[in-house]
Amino acid sequence: MHNATKAGLGLVGAGAACLGWASLVERNWYAVRRATVPVLPAGADPVTVLHLSDLHLVPRQERRIQWVRELACLAPDFVINTGDNCSDLNAVPAVLHAMEPLLDRPGAFVFGSNDYWAPMFKNPAKYFKTSHRKGADMGVPELPWRELRAGLVGGGWTDLNNRRARISLGGIRTQLLGLDDPHLGYDDLDTLAEPATDAELTLGVVHAPYLRALDALTAAGADLVLAGHTHGGQLAVPLYGALVTNCDLGTDRAKGLSRWWPGADNAPSAAAPDGAGWLNVSAGLGHNKYTPVRFACRPEASLLTLVAR
């Protein structure tokens, strides 16, 4: 056998092995990523926030449903869901079943495009763009998002889609700033225009981490912004990282915790200025049902321990 033929067969074999790992193993290899964020006032006791995102559930995914239900054992002080819960027209009952034990904890949520509109197959190359046609203009069916909203609100969670709220988090006066999905252009930045409050902690919540949303939330005083949408790149390159974020955020922040301030994406290696906030981008738990793979990017939930500055 010629060397070139052997090399070609080797590449085919390696590709098949990677595809098998990505589609059969890693996409179901769920993880809890833990991080500590110094955003509380001096002397405050730590509080924990469980950050869920991008469940992309279809009703038959019992393993994912059960894994999410068991997250209640972490006993977080607060739960934040940053959207894209559904990947099927009939997913809402399964999503609410998955969230049921967590609804016993205080929480809040925003929606992503896959809460409003059913998923569709598209050319993977389109993920390298930052602008996409979406929703009704593609003839995509609307998801029963009102039912999902009613279930989450009925369970006690706060709807933060273009809304603000005040809560007590571990005895700390906390302001929540939320935006509806920037990927769909549903974000209303005027929501953030109200005067500052006497909050000791401000959390920003948004599904897709577009720069305009992150800049607006931190400019409005968010000490920590929580977002999802990117899937951490979903198909990453080992030792390099994500190739895309499906928005205009740089790939160096496709997942994980980093500092953020208005204009930060133009200077990713710059030292954070005084007063800079924090950004947690969840790599999410799922995937579009038409692309059921993960590679070098495990599905995750984030457990954030907030501590004194």
**pLDDT tens profile 269-305:** 678 898 899 999 999 999 888 888 898 899 999 999 9
CA-based nearest residue to 68, from 83, 50, 82: 50
Q: How far apart are CA 294 and CA 125, in angstroms?
A: 16
Provide the whole-model pTM. 0.89
Q: Taking the domains of the chain in order of start, what are their residue ranges?
A: 3-308
Contacts by 261-266, CB closer than 8 A, 24 or more apart: 261/218, 262/215, 262/218, 262/219, 263/215, 264/214, 265/211, 265/214
- pLDDT in tens for each of the 309 residues of the chain? 655 554 444 433 433 444 453 554 677 889 999 999 999 999 999 999 999 999 999 999 999 999 999 999 999 999 999 999 999 999 999 999 999 999 999 999 999 999 999 997 654 445 445 555 455 556 789 999 999 999 999 999 999 999 999 999 999 999 999 999 999 999 999 999 987 789 999 999 999 999 999 999 999 999 999 999 999 998 889 988 999 999 999 999 999 999 999 989 866 667 889 889 999 999 999 988 888 889 889 999 999 999 999
Report which DSSP code applies to 44: P
* Burial of 122 from C-beta contacts in 10 A (0-12 / 13-18 / 19+): middle
| Region class of 203: left (phi > 0), else alpha (psi between -120 and 50), else beta | beta
**pLDDT tens profile 16-29:** 444 453 554 677 88
The answer to whether the CB of 224 falls within 8 A of the CB of 199 is: no
Report which DSSP code applies to 223: S
| CATH code, 3-308 | 3.60.21.10
Report in angstroms the alpha-carbon separations of 59 from 55, 86, 95, 98, 175.
11, 9, 8, 10, 34
